């Protein structure tokens, strides 16, 4: 793992909202296949860090690169294209489109990239199968359970075969058993496809699925620890 | 909890007689079990023998002579090493962790670093158990879960204490 060039490189990132310093000189690398837990209490800056790394929020200062691309200098359109093609997202509440079936939800990122419907749905079906929710393919998200919905959301995040998946409290709305299944499937799939995962969580039992953790407090990184695989 | 390290760290704040050391220990940590004088003097004798404290004054009053003890440079190094070394994660560690945090605050060290080192050690063990759980059978998973939930309780305590360090510092130094 250490031999690879980092996918994401952040140096001295700072971001303020008004007089509040959400990030204060944060530096870190994210490498291919790495599962990095970003921990910290509410309001510590961990979500702002994730949003900066994912190109959703532009930091006020510092350097931020994805491979050889400068994410701070990139235009909104370039950042948007990067988010669609290279990054995947999983949120606390699946945020699936309620009017579409689960299969159509998973196929959606591919359709937005211009992939034809039949091919997009074939690939979506494959990922639903991988996440053990093929049985809800034809159902709307409202007809699936919370755990199933979250696995559909993971299938949607992975369907474009992204380099990095950003997961923000992915088990926050699930009970222990479903949370465990979601984390096991997310990390297994990511490891098999060498997808990096940036896992924002305040739950130690979720962070325990990572390879290493960083702890954010008052916008700064307190520690970086964790074992190599 | 290591009594010798605790007394040593309390001595780092300044030389004390055995009596004062017992009073200070009881005030900070003796809520459930105050120290016996015998424990204090036996520990001080051992620390003296190991060169971690020295007698810096002897008072001759009407009764028995009273020795005042001071920490040596070797003693300070010993405290430093003990505080910076995370405890091996085990169940019900809280009293040792609490003692370390208070002593770090009392001796002007970085108490947050004590908590950070402990969090990293706990998470490392949780990671090992989680890996074992996902690869093992159901019995293995249940055994690992039991340990994971207890570690999680410790981690919650570490998190809460991190958030309350400023207040704790005020209280223990007052």
| Domain count of the fold of chain B | 2
Chain A residues interacting with chain B (CB cutoff of 8 angstroms) = 41, 184, 202, 204-205, 207-210, 213, 215, 217, 222-223, 225-227
pLDDT score for B94: 64
If asked whether residues B65 and B106 sit together in one domain, one would say no
Contact list, B127 vs chain A (CB under 8 Å): 208-210, 226-227
* CA–CA separation, B24 and B16 (whole Å): 10
Considering B37, B57, B84, which residue would you say is the last residue of a domain? Answer: B84
If asked whether residues B79 and B110 sit together in one domain, one would say no
> B116-161 pLDDT, tens per residue?
999 999 999 999 999 998 888 888 888 889 889 989 988 988 988 9
What contacts B97, CB < 8 A, 6 or more positions away? B87, B114, B115, B118, B154, B157, B158, B161
Over residues B102-111, the mean pLDDT reads 92
Considering B84, B102, B129, which residue would you say is the last residue of a domain? Answer: B84
CB–CB of B126 and A204 under 8 A? yes
Asked if A46 and A40 touch (Cβ cutoff 8 Å), the reply is yes
The CA distance from A205 to the nearest CA of chain B, in Å, is: 7
* CA–CA separation, B138 and B92 (whole Å): 26
pLDDT score for A227: 43
CB–CB of A215 and B116 under 8 A? yes
pLDDT score for B1: 67
CB–CB of B129 and A213 under 8 A? no
Interface test with B, best of A208, A217, A225, A228 (most B CBs within 10 A): A208
If asked whether residues B80 and B90 sit together in one domain, one would say no
Contact list, B112 vs chain A (CB under 8 Å): 222
Domain holding B114, by residue range, is 86-174
Q: Give the DSSP per-residue string, chain B.
A: --HHHHHHHHHTTS-EEHHHHHHHHHHHH-SSSPPPHHHHHHHHHHHHHTTSEEEEEEE--SSS-EEEEEE-HHHHHHHHHHHHSPPPP-TT-HHHHHHHHHHHHHTT--HHHHHHHHHHHHHHHHHHHHHHHHHS-HHHHHHHHHHHHHHHHHHHHHHHHHHTHHHHHHHHH-
- Structure tokens belonging to residue A7: 């996918």
If asked whether residues B32 and B65 sit together in one domain, one would say yes
pLDDT score for A228: 37
> What CATH number is attached to the domain comprising B10?
1.10.10.10
Q: What is the mean pLDDT of each run of 10 residues along chain A (229 residues)?
A: 77 93 94 93 89 93 93 91 90 86 95 94 94 94 91 92 93 84 88 92 92 92 57
Model confidence at B96, pLDDT cuts 50, 70, 90, reads: confident
The CA distance from B120 to the nearest CA of chain A, in Å, is: 6
Of all residues in chain A, the one with the smallest CA distance to B127 is A208
CB–CB of A208 and B148 under 8 A? yes
pTM for the predicted model, two decimal places: 0.80
Q: Does B122 touch chain A (CB under 8 A)?
A: yes
CB–CB of B124 and A207 under 8 A? no
Considering B69, B84, B99, which residue would you say is the last residue of a domain? Answer: B84
If asked whether residues B104 and B54 sit together in one domain, one would say no
Of all residues in chain A, the one with the smallest CA distance to B117 is A223
pLDDT score for A1: 47
The CA distance from A100 to the nearest CA of chain B, in Å, is: 33
If asked whether residues B92 and B15 sit together in one domain, one would say no
């Amino acid at each position: 793992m250490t031999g690879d060039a980092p996918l994401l490189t952040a140096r001295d990132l700072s971001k303020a909202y008004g007089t509040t310093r959400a990030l204060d000189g944060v530096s870190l690398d994210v490498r291919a296949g790495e599962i990095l837990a970003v921990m910290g209490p509410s309001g510590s800056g961990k979500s702002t860090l994730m949003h900066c790394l994912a190109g959703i929020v532009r930091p006020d200062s510092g350097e931020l690169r994805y491979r050889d691309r400068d994410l701070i200098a990139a235009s909104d359109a370039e950042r948007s294209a990067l988010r669609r093609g290279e990054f995947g997202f999983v949120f606390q509440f699946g945020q699936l489109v309620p009017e579409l079936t689960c299969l159509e939800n998973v196929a959606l990122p591919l359709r937005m990239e211009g992939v034809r419907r039949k091919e997009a749905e074939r690939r979506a079906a494959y990922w639903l199968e991988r996440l053990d929710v093929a049985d809800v393919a034809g159902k709307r998200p409202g007809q699936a359970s919370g755990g199933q919905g979250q696995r559909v959301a993971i299938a949607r995040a992975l369907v474009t075969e992204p380099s990095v998946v950003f997961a923000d409290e992915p088990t926050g709305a699930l009970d222990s058993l479903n949370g465990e299944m979601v984390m096991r499937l997310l990390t297994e799939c990511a490891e098999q496809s060498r997808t990096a995962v940036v896992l924002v969580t305040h739950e130690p039992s979720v962070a325990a699925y990572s390879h290493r953790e960083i702890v954010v407090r008052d916008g700064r990184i307190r520690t970086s620890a964790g074992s190599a695989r | 909890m290591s009594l010798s390290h605790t007394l040593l760290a309390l001595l780092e704040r300044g030389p004390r007689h055995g009596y004062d050391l017992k009073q200070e220990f009881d005030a900070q940590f003796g809520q459930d079990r105050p120290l016996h004088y015998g424990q204090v003097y036996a520990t001080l004798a051992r620390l003296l023998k190991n060169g971690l404290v020295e007698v810096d004054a002897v008072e001759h009053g009407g009764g028995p002579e009273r020795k005042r003890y001071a920490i040596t440079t070797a003693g300070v190094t010993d405290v430093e090493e003990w505080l910076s070394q995370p405890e091996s994660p085990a169940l019900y560690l809280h009293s040792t962790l609490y003692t370390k945090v208070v002593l770090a605050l009392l001796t002007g060290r970085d108490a947050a670093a004590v908590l950070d080192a402990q969090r990293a050690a706990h998470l490392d063990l949780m990671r090992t158990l989680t890996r074992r759980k996902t690869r093992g059978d159901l019995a293995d998973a249940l055994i690992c879960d039991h340990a994971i939930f207890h570690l999680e309780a410790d981690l919650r305590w570490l998190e809460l204490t991190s958030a309350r360090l400023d207040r704790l510092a005020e209280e223990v130094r007052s």
